[in-house]
Chains A and B, each alone.
Chain A
Amino acid sequence: MPLEPAITDVEPLKDKPALAKLLASDTIVVEQVKWDRDELSIWVARENLVDAIKLLRSSTETQFTFLSDITCTDWYPSEPRFEVSYHLLSMARKERVRLKVKLLGDDAQVDSLFSVFPSCDFFEREVFDLFGVRFHGHPNLARIMMPEDWKGHPLRKDYPVEGYR
């Protein structure tokens, strides 16, 4: 099927359960939203991330009980540099949603989801190891792929593909 253009206004997407839940809350700020290729992406403010995910997990209209993936994209040299994406899956409603947080290059830190989803453990360690984004509240934020004494964060765009050795 040919691609339809992406929808970035909030108006036509207001009925999607995940977005409706977040918009209805007083404390959570939805910065941006996009419906593209049958997938919903919601950008939230960094401070509201844990609350947003808790809300999406616990409410019966959305039931996003499974954390599929946490990953990061590096948009160097444009700012905000890092964009951390959280993919949630609702097994009961067979639906996915993507929550995203934009972070500045010299202030790359966000709260850990460990209290909500213990499965974020390895995912957050990987994002820290390969991008340098710190997660507050993570019980053991150590490098996971690279050796412990490695300098630099390999998946950043200013790190060469061939490496330094």
Chain B
Amino acid sequence: MVLNMGPQHPSTHGVLRLLLEIDGETIVRIMPDIGYLHTGIEKTCEAKFYQQVVPMTDRIDYLCPMTNNLAYVLAVEKLLGMEIPEKAQWLRVLCNELTRINSHLVWLGTSAMDLGAMTVFLYCFREREELLKFFEAVAGQRMMTSYFRVGGVALEPPLGWFDRVKKFADTFPSKMDEYEGLLTQNPIFVMRTKGVAKLTKEDAIALGASGPTMRGSGIDFDIRRDMPYSSYDKFQFQVPVRTEGDVYARYQCRVQELRESCKIVQQALAGMPEGPIKADSPKVVLPDREKMKTQMESLIYHFKIVTEGFTVPPGEVYSAIESPRGEMGYYIVSDGTAKPYRVHMRSPSFANLQVLRTMCEGQLIADVVAAIGSIDIVLGDCDR
């Protein structure tokens, strides 16, 4: 029998359609059907200036918007050969890790709710509300922040913002203890996740899984630690790796990542350097607003950048970062004009979805729900 787990389903975390060929309760074949959220972002980016692409990148993986921003601006800065001031880099790390906490909290809440634990969902979203208030204070928007710019960050954080984030980071580990107390030793949760949807080490690499999906199967690789970008080499943090490869292992990896992200946030707050938040490159970076209103050259630069964009020397670049879901890469081809010739997003959810077949074939239907939750896909990321 072929069962349709349709695009509208509370447990598929987005508009994912799964065709399940079942024999009783066991799955014989599983065929994912995606494309319901395809909005042609890659095509649209070819018609926009480089700085206009930044708000489009927010909407790709909508649970970690700042991470997408970072991946894109790092790629463009690599194309331009631009040096970013230290304070901007540390602010980027701080916001990136807050976004990682944000995204993992949504994962924890929704995948626990799929398995029946409703309270965890509400607790996670209570923490998430605090984080969204921080993002609103610093960038003006709760979710689609577009906070990073080519050359640095958009604005200085408001007065008192660092103290609020510090208060949050101080109380967060105790909140994590609360969630772990509800789930980690819970016999129902353990029974539904231990030994379910196993992914072996060889399969993980062969099928292109990255991020916690791959680290839950024993592969010790994290782009932040191994190929660092944006000052990540100045931070100390552990990368959790488990070998069992089941849903419980991936759960443990992500929960540990939440704690490690909190540690990175503390380190970033403690050591935040002073300095400018944008690079010194008048042809690319918009000038300070006050200067723009009083000095002629700044006004001219502002006008030219906004109306004509900045040109990027021809070439191509592939720049990847570690998003909460895995390796997020941007492949940008420039032909020397102010609009990118080709922008391709290597989205982790697109590649990670391929492991679903290996994980679920031969398992029960109820395990599919646990498996989808554990690979943590976001359909905006998958379809673009």
- Residue ranges of A at the interface with B (Cβ–Cβ < 8 Å): 1-3, 6, 36-39, 41, 65-69, 71, 73-74, 85, 87, 89, 91, 94, 96, 98, 117-119, 121-123, 126, 130, 143-147, 154-155, 159, 161, 163
Contact = CB atoms under 8 A, between A and B. Distances in A.
Contact of A122 (B316, B341, B344, B350): B350
A24 B353 CA distance: 37
Contacts of B207: 118-119
A71 B316 contact: no
B331 A87 contact: yes
B351 interface: yes
B166 interface: no
A117 B207 CA distance: 7
Interface stretch (B33-41, B51-59, B263-271): B33-41
A66 B208 contact: yes
Interface in B296-348: 313, 315-318, 320, 327, 329, 331, 333, 341-342, 344, 346
A122 B34 CA distance: 10
Contact of A98 (B221, B313, B318): B318
Contacts of B83: 1
A37 B34 contact: no
A82 to B, nearest CB: 11
Contact of B44 (A2, A85, A161): A161
A3 B80 contact: yes
Contacts of B344: 69, 71
Contacts of A121: 354
Counting contact residues on chain B (CB < 8 A from A), the size range is: 35 or more
Contacts of B2: none
Contacts of B43: 154-155, 159, 161
Interface string B50-79: 000000000000000000000000000011
Contact of B329 (A36, A38, A68, A74): A68
A118 B206 contact: yes
B354 A73 contact: no
Given A67-B208, A87-B331, A122 B353 contact: yes
Given A71-B331, A91-B219, A122 B351 contact: yes
Contact of A154 (B40, B208, B329, B342): B40
Contacts of B80: 3
B167 to A, nearest CB: 37
A119 B354 contact: yes
A37 B81 contact: yes
Nearest to B208: A119
B208 A94 contact: no
A98 B81 CA distance: 19
B155 interface: no
11 contacts: A37-B317, A66-B208, A68-B320, A68-B327, A69-B331, A96-B320, A118-B354, A122-B353, A146-B35, A146-B38, A161-B40
A94 B223 CA distance: 9
A2 B221 contact: no
Given A39-B316, A154-B40, 11 more contacts: A1-B81, A37-B315, A66-B205, A66-B210, A68-B346, A96-B320, A98-B318, A118-B207, A119-B208, A119-B351, A147-B35
Contacts of A155: 42-43
A36 B315 contact: yes
B35 A161 contact: no
Interface in B203-236: 205-208, 210, 219, 221, 226-227
A117 B205 CA distance: 9
A3 B318 contact: no
9 closest A-B pairs by CB: A119-B208, A3-B81, A69-B346, A145-B35, A145-B38, A71-B344, A91-B221, A73-B342, A161-B47
